């Protein structure tokens, strides 16, 4: 493979399009560019690109026609790639939230795979359709470029049947109603990072809290997932930016009895709940921390309390806890949230060091703490790049020098 060969990784969301471009040397990805088109569909849409050092090379507002929807944003990205790269990427790796029960590893996209993934849209309506949109566009415009789907659910396929079942009649399991788990690409990265840099830690009982606009936690031993807080959909588990987390299903029945339609209920559960619903102000932790409104404090207190309860519950699956890891946007950057969660878990033996926590240090507990608490930055795009290359190699798809 020549040094001009590049791999594109795409992570398409409901209102954003994240991407990274990797140069590939000896089948190893090396970051060249990373970028984000944000606020798609809004007047504040923006396009920002950084090089491998983090230096900003492009930072501009987009006119409405450039970012009216995800398809338009893809055109903006395609134009930038064409003007910047010496030639088209030899392959594209995609984050796909839901792989269903069939896919435990990354897979080369063909018509059958795409049909299967399209069929899972109802299990992750906020994510799956948007994840797949760039796949469809590329298959239409550049069918010669191999595409690989990398799944957030795949990491959790190591769970036991006991963990994956709901207490429902077997006929529902046969139709795919089971606990899938999400944020698996992030957990895969943290597991690999610990294996490489913290080999003694990864052997123990670890809970990783992926706290971002979407939030979940995962228990693992020897880097293998054992249990997680999200279940059938990405609504379950911890409270999130705009999603409620664990909710009595009777609430949904009550909504139906009040005459609410499917679409109305879906909108409430996916876009109006969580921190946004509790506070009535914002779903962004930064906004709530800056607010003096009592409702903002209540929302944050709810988030830390429920997160701590879920983390404590995960200890059952691994029979204790040796290390708690915080990752993702909130987990990596919010000392206040980490302190709140760890405060609720102090009875387990967590002795947080306030100065280390404030500094976002690698380890934020005092030396005598029975449970170590660490902060590890996640990198889902690097996992996608590695999985894409491994998938192409297995499929014996080579790129000419």
Section 279-289 average pLDDT: 95
111 in catalytic set: no
3-state secondary structure of 335: helix
Q: Is the pLDDT of residue 323 over 90?
A: yes
Query: What is the sign of the dihedral through the CA atoms of 231, 234, 235 and 236?
Result: positive
Give residue for tokens 């660490």.
Answer: 374
Instruction: Give residue 375's pLDDT.
Output: 98
Please tell me which residue in 83, 102, 144, 152 is annotated as part of the active site: 152
95 within 8 A of 131, measured Cβ to Cβ: yes
Portion of the chain with pLDDT greater than 70, in percent = 98
In this structure, CATH architecture of domain 199-375? 2-Layer Sandwich (3.30)
Instruction: Give residue 39's pLDDT.
Output: 83
279 within 8 A of 296, measured Cβ to Cβ: yes
Helix axes 294-318, 335-344, angle to 10 degrees: 60
Give bridge partners of residue 304 from the DSSP assignment: none
Q: Does domain 6-157+386-394 have CATH number 3.30.420.40?
A: yes
Per-residue pLDDT tens over the stretch 171-217: 999 988 999 999 999 999 999 999 999 999 999 999 999 999 899 99
Q: Is the pLDDT of residue 35 over 90?
A: yes
326 within 8 A of 375, measured Cβ to Cβ: yes
Per-residue pLDDT tens over the stretch 39-90: 888 888 899 999 999 999 999 999 888 888 888 888 899 889 989 998 889 9
Per-residue pLDDT tens over the stretch 84-127: 998 889 999 999 999 988 888 999 999 999 999 998 888 887 78
Q: Is 396 or 229 the better-scoring residue by pLDDT?
A: 229
Q: Which residue, among 212, 149, 183, has the nearest Cα to 387 in the 3D structure?
A: 149
Residues of the chain with CATH 3.30.420.40: 6-157+386-394, 199-375
Section 232-244 average pLDDT: 94
Alpha helices in 155-290 (DSSP H): 161-164, 170-174, 184-197, 199-202, 249-257, 262-271, 274-279, 285-290
Instruction: Give residue 43's pLDDT.
Output: 85
Q: Is the pLDDT of residue 269 over 50?
A: yes
């Amino acid at each position: 493979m020549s040094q001009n060969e590049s791999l594109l990784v795409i992570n398409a969301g409901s209102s954003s399009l994240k991407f990274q471009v990797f140069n590939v040397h000896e089948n190893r990805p090396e970051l060249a560019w990373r970028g984000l088109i944000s606020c798609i569909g809004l007047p504040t849409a923006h396009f920002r690109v950084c090089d491998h050092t983090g230096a900003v090379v492009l930072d501009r507002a987009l006119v409405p026609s450039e970012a009216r929807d995800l398809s338009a944003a893809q055109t903006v990205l395609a134009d930038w790639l064409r003007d910047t790269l010496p030639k088209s990427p030899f392959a594209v790796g995609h984050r796909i939230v839901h792989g269903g029960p069939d896919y435990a590893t990354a897979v080369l996209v063909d018509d059958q795979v795409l049909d299967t993934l399209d069929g899972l849209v109802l299990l992750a309506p906020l994510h799956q359709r948007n994840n797949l949109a760039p796949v469809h566009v590329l298959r239409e415009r550049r069918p010669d470029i191999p595409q690989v789907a990398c799944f957030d659910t795949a990491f959790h396929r190591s769970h036991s049947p006991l963990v994956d079942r709901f207490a429902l009649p077997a006929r529902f399991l046969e139709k795919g109603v089971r606990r899938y788990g999400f944020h698996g690409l992030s957990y895969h990265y943290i597991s690999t990072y610990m294996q490489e840099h913290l080999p003694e830690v990864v052997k123990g009982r670890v809970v990783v809290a992926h706290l971002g606009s979407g939030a979940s936690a995962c228990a693992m031993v020897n880097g293998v997932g054992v249990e997680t807080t999200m279940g059938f959909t990405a609504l379950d588990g911890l409270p999130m930016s705009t999603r409620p987390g664990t909710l009595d299903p009777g609430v949904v029945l009550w909504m139906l009895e009040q005459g609410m339609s499917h679409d109305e209920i879906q909108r409430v559960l996916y876009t109006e709940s969580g921190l946004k619903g509790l506070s009535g102000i914002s779903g962004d932790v930064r906004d709530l921390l800056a607010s003096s409104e009592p409702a903002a404090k209540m929302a944050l207190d709810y988030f830390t309390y429920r997160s701590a309860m879920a983390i404590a519950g995960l200890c059952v699956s691994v029979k204790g806890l040796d290390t708690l890891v915080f990752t993702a946007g909130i987990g990596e950057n919010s000392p206040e949230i980490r302190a709140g969660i760890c405060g609720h878990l102090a009875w387990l033996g967590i002795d947080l060091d306030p100065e280390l926590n404030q500094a976002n240090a690698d380890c934020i507990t005092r030396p005598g703490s029975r449970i170590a608490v660490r902060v590890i930055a996640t990198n889902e795009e690097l996992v996608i790049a590695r999985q894409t290359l491994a998938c192409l190699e297995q499929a014996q798809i080579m790129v000419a020098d």
